[in-house]
Structure formats: structure tokens, C-alpha cells
Amino acid sequence: MKITPLQYAIFLYEITLKTTDIKKKVKGFLEFLARNNDLGKINKIIKEFEIYERKQKGIKEVEVISIKPLAASVKRQIAESIKNGGEIKETVNPDLVGGLTVIIGDTMIDGSLRRKLRELNKALSYG
Amino acid sequence: MDKNFIIETLKKQLAEYNPSAEKVNIGKVLKIGDGIASISGLSQVMASEMLEFVTSKGSVYGVALNLEENQVGAMVLGDFKEIKEGDLVKSTGKVLSFPVGKELLGRVVDPLGNPLDDAGPLSLKELEFYPIERKAPGVIARDSVNTPLHTGIKAIDSTVPIGRGQRELIIGDRQIGKTALVIDIILNQLQDARYKKPICIYVEIGKKGSKVARIVEELKSRGAMENTIVVLASASDAAPLWHIAPYSGCAIGEYFMDKGEDALIIYDDLSKHAWAYRQVSLLLRRPPGREAYPGDIFYLHSRLLERAAKLSKANGGGSLTALPIIETQLSDISAYIPTNVISITDGQIYLDPELFYQGVRPALSVGLSVSRVGSSAQTKAMKKVASRLRLELAQYRELQAFVQFASELDEATRKRIDRGQRLAEILKQPQYNPIPFEKQVCLIYAGVNGFLDQLPVAKIKEFEEKFFQYLSDRRENMLSKIRQSGEFSEEIEKELKSAIEFQIHALNEGNKRDCFSSRAIRDCAADLIPTF
């Protein structure tokens, strides 16, 4: 039977969960992959592993989009206000015009001026 | 728009500016192609929810169709080439809806409600939004079909009557006159004075632009466009648009039905609609079934056609009549989609290629066409003459094989064949020439009562023309009596009899006079020639 990348990822997650010797486990896992002729799937497995790990540990991906790099104090404030937040990924996008957009997992909190302007545009064009 | 208004609005917005935020459920495009997108994330999205793809060139909308464990399959309504892998997708929390209202009358719109003609944009203020997928009216909300919807086609009104709220399938091969038939039906709604004028919605799926332009032009020139709305998913539009076109058209019909009006919707044609849905389903990797159609192809059409209804008085008494069209391949009506739609509808009008090539137009096969609503959707006058017609035609069909040996047959059989030939002749009708039902009644009365037996078959056409002319010139009183009451009293019968006799006499006399006069001219010429 073919083993899907997700199944591999779950397997890898389980065997590395309560171990001290990660190197040995990973080496064993790679040998297992090689035996199954599935080394080509390694990139997909890593991706699935990341998603699976986040899901298991209840950590959410956090991305902050702003028009200029954030000040350390602002960043700290954001990190504190999000429960179970992982590492914050910062993106600079001047298209936002102003304000902030925060993406947590698959929820986006759009506090940008661009959204406001778009709403205004819509309200004006339909009277 | 007023300049001051814009400035005022801007000022108000600035004064009220508060840095609020909007929370939305988002996803990212994993795969895009052929009008289908795979999206990761969107954990809160619901089936058939509208999605907004945020692209570099503005928003494109789509509909979530497949909700899987790790991804969402969606169809894109619009230009999918704008969407790139990794683009943001927002859920909107809304279902797809269509702007409906009186303003649409006379317009040509696409399945999303954008105008395609040159009459300018629709003002959204006047329009309501109706969801394109809606549950059909329930049993309690309905009334039985009891009012006729006159088509102006003699063969239909007499043998397969259509009632308001009925669903009647029109089925036949390509190039056999399915579209011509429905255009005539739309045209007839202009002249049907007895009942409320229905609003016609013509949904065209996968039609050529040139053909549509010609149809719209024809309707315009005959004044029928004023109460017609055309919903067009043209051949160059993507399959998802073909897929939603009939539902959009149905939303318009429901709007008018809810307002207590009568509406007539034509789906031209549902076989192309089934192809489009098959394409979308296969690209979404849903498992194929018979003829590669997905498992829910029956439900696709049944939920659409079930929305045609006649509402009870308590619900406004409106109606939505549906005329779906199915194109068959080599007259195979036992293929998958034709059998499905035949079983969903309340009857079918079958157009037979054999009749078509014999010159019977419309090529309606009286034997294979049925209307399951039956005579409850006919006026009393039509009922009276049409029951005999159907019987006579059925007997004629059985004897048709013997037509070649007519001279060797007994008297009764030969008479029956003669009668049948004349009846078949009066059911022929040219295009763009719908006939009001009261005139149909008079003509069919003449046919079934044997008045036409004394005329040769070749003369029937001429008789019909002159007879109709005579009726509208001299016997308007009688016609309006039939039209107003819908009845066929003895008094009317008596008057009609004399009218028919007069016309036949005039026709025979006219022929004789033609002979006389031509001979007279010849004689006269012979006398005169030597004098030159």
C-alpha cells in the first residue's frame, strides 16, 4: 500500500515525540523512506509535519502585515495578545496604506486603511 | 453623481473614522486551472458559500463546492487566469445571489447579473437580491395547474396543452426547430388577451453570440422584448457560468412569481448545462458515473425544475412555467440526460426529424408528445374540438402505412386517411406566426367536423389564410365571444358553421372565376391579336 506524506509525517511526529536522540530517530526514518523508495516525498512530508505539529500542539501560524517594519514594543504587544501564537512572521506591504493586518491560522483580522478605502469606493460607486 | 455628495460622503467618513478591524476566514490558493481552484485553509467555510479571490487586479468571485479534510474545491466565476497560486481567498458568509426586479425587463444579462447589452448599467437601488439556489415551494404553497398558457402553436395548444406552472420538455435533434418553437411561444404571449401576460425569461446556455443577437433582434422588432429577459452564458463563457445560468434565470422567475405575476422560463438547453456540470464535477475530481456524468446529475435538474410552480391564492397566485429544452443525438431519447429530464417534467414535446424532412413544421410528433397535466389546462372551447382531433390523428397514424394503397382500400378507411391528411395539414404552421387560440378553435372545428374533406389537401393552406382573414374582418364578434368566455356554445357553433361554409364556397367559386377570367382573357386576346 502506498503511504501518503501525511501518514509519514504522523509517523515521524510520533517517533520523535518522547525521544532524546533525535538524530538517531531521523536517520532511522530516512532509511525507512529509502527502503520504501519514498525519499522524493521528503519535502511534502516536512510540510505536512509542520502543519501536523502545529495542529497537535495547538499552535497557530501568525503573520503581521504592515506598511513599515514594526517597533519591538508593538510586536511584543501583538505576541502577548494572541493565545498559543507561534513565531510571528512579519511582512512589509506598503499597499495597505495604513493600519495593520494580522493573520492567525486561517483567520484574518484586517485593520488596514486599504479596506476602509475600498468600502468607501463601493459606497460611492453604487450610491 | 453630484460632486457635493461625494465630498459630503468623504467628510462624513473621515469624521466617523475609527480604526476598526474586520475578521474574516481566509485560505490560500493551492492549485488553479480550468475554472477550478483548490484552496487550503478556509476552515469555517460552508458549502455553496461565495468566496472572494484577492488578486493583483481586483477581486474575482467563486463558489465553494467541495469541502475536504485539508482543502476546499471551488469553481471560479470570472477570469480564473487572474488568480495565482498563493493568492488570498476570503470567505464572504453569503450565498451566490442575483439582482432581480422590473428593471431587468428588455435586458440581456449574464448569469451574474451584469448587463451584456448597450442599455447601460442596472441601478442596484431598484433591484432585490435573490439567492440563485432556493428551495422549491412546498406542497401547501402550491395550487394545481388550471390556467392555460397559450403557445400560439396549433399542434401544442390542441394536443399537448401547457398550463401555467407546468414543466414541459421540448426535445429533439439539432437544427429541428426547438429554438424557433420557443421564440414563437414568446411572441404569442403578446397577443394572448384573455389571461395575464406572462413575463418571459429566456436562458441561453452555450449559444453562439451571433445566434443570440439575431434572436434578440427578432424579439425587439416584434415588440416582444419589452416583457422578456434574456440570461446568456455564451459559448465563450466558462463552464461554471453555464452551470449557474439556469439557476439565475429561475431566480428572476421566482421574483415575478412571488409578486403574484405569471412568468415563463425557457432553458435552452439543459443538455449543454449537463455537460458544463460534468466538466466542473470531473475537474473537482468527483467520481464519474454513467456517460461520465456525476452522481448528482439527476438532482441538478430536478431541483431546478421543481422550482416551477403555480402558487395558491393565499401565496399570491403567481406562477412559473418552465420549458426546458434537450438536444438529442440522432433522436436517441433513451440516453441518460433525456430520460432523466423526461421523468422530471410533466410531459414532453417531441420533434421528429422524419416529420421535419417530410415538410411538417413544426415537426411535432403528436404520438410521442404528451402533457401529463392534460386538458385541465385547456379552455372549454379548445377541449371540445381537440379531443376529437387527437382521436382522429391516432387513427390516421395507424393507417398511415396504407396510404400508398389508398385506391384499394374500403370506403371507410379511405375517408379516415383523407381526414387525417387534412388534419395533419392544418397543424402545419410557418415560423413567427403564432395563432390566437380562438382562431385555432375555429380551424380545428372545421377540420374535425369534415368541412375540409371537400377541399384538396393542397388547398388547405390557402383556405386557412383566407379563413383567418375573413374571421378577423367579418366575425370579430364571434372571436371575441370565444376569447372572453373560453366557451363554445351552440350559438357560436352555428355561426362558425355558416362562416366555414361561406369560406369554402368562396374558395371554390374563386377558383372557378379564376378559370373563367383566364379563358376570357385568352379569348379576348385572340380576338384582338389580328387587329394589331
Nearest chain B residue to A105, by CA: B41
| Block residue for cell numbers 415560423 | B431
Indicate if A65 and A80 belong to the same structural domain: yes
The answer to whether A109 contacts B9, with C-beta atoms less than 8 Å apart, is: no
Residues A84 and A99 in one domain: yes
Looking at A40, A57, A74, the residue that finishes a domain is: A57
Q: Could you tell me if A32 and A81 lie in one domain?
A: no
Euclidean distance between CA atoms B271 and B326, whole angstroms: 5
Clarify whether residues A31 and A66 are in a common domain: no
In this structure, how many other beta carbons lie within 10 angstroms of the beta carbon of residue A59?
A: 14
Q: Is B343 on the interface with A (CB under 8 A)?
A: no
What sign for the dihedral angle of Cα B458, B462, B464, B465?
Answer: positive
CB B332 within 8 A of CB B168: no
pLDDT tens digit at each of 532 positions of chain B: 577 887 887 788 777 766 677 889 999 999 998 999 999 989 999 999 999 999 988 889 999 999 998 899 999 998 899 999 999 999 999 999 999 999 999 999 999 999 999 998 888 788 999 999 999 999 999 999 999 999 999 999 999 999 999 999 999 999 999 999 999 999 999 988 788 999 999 999 999 999 999 999 999 999 999 999 999 999 999 999 999 999 999 999 999 999 999 999 999 999 999 999 999 999 999 999 999 999 999 999 999 999 999 999 999 999 999 999 999 999 999 999 999 999 999 999 999 999 999 999 999 999 899 998 878 889 999 999 998 898 999 999 888 888 777 777 888 888 999 999 999 999 999 999 999 999 999 999 999 999 999 999 999 999 999 999 999 998 999 999 999 988 999 999 999 999 999 999 888 887 665 555 566 666 667 777 766 6
Beta carbons of B102 and B223 less than 8 angstroms apart: no
A→B contacts (Cβ < 8 Å), by residue, are 99, 103, 105-111, 115-116, 120, 123-124, 126-127
Identity of the residue in B13, B24, B41 whose CB atom sits nearest the CB atom of A110:
B24
Question: Three-state DSSP class for B434?
Answer: coil
Domain count, chain A: 2
CA-based nearest residue in chain B for residue A118: B58
Helix (H, G, I), strand (E, B) or coil at B427: coil
User: Does residue B24 belong to the interface with chain A, where contact is any CB pair within 8 Å?
Assistant: yes
SS3 B176: coil
* A65 plus A122 within the same structural domain: yes
Complex-level ipTM: 0.79
Crossing angle of helices A5-17 and A42-57, in 10° steps, is 60
- Residues A104, A117: one domain? yes
Closest chain A residue to B44 measured between Cα atoms? A106
A51 and A83 housed in the same domain:
no
Yes or no, beta carbons of A111 and B44 under 8 Å apart: no
Do A81 and A107 fall within a single domain? Answer: yes
How many Cα atoms sit within 13 Å of B325 on the Cβ side?
26
Could you tell me if A51 and A96 lie in one domain? no
Specify the residue for cell string 502543519. Answer: A51
B135 secondary structure, DSSP code = P
> Which cell numbers hold the place of B186?
414568446
- The model's pTM: 0.88
* 3-class DSSP assignment, residue B245: helix
| Count of residues in chain A | 127
Residue B363 and residue B369 in contact, taking contact as beta carbons nearer than 8 Å: no
- Asked if residues B287 and B293 have their Cβ atoms less than 8 Å apart, the reply is no
Q: What is the pLDDT of residues B307-327, one digit of tens each?
A: 999 999 999 999 999 999 999
Which residue, A18, A41, A57, sits at the end of a domain?
Answer: A57
Instruction: Tell me what pLDDT residue B405 has.
Output: 77
Contact B6 A124 (CB under 8 A): yes
* Segments forming the whole domain that contains residue A88: 61-126
B7 touches chain A (CB under 8 A): no
Q: What share of chain B is helix, strand, coil (3-state, %, to 5)?
A: 50, 20, 30
Pair type for strands B22-33 and B347-351 = unpaired
The question of whether B285 is a catalytic residue gets the answer no
Beta partners for A110? A101, B22
Same domain, A116 and A79: yes
Q: Where among A57, A82, A98 does a domain terminate?
A: A57
Nearest CA distance, A20 vs chain B (angstrom) = 31
Domain check: are A41 and A83 in the same one? no
Q: Are residues A71 and A113 in the same domain?
A: yes
Rounded to 5°, the CA angle B112-B114-B119 comes to 155
CB of A68 closer than 8 Å to CB of A96 = no
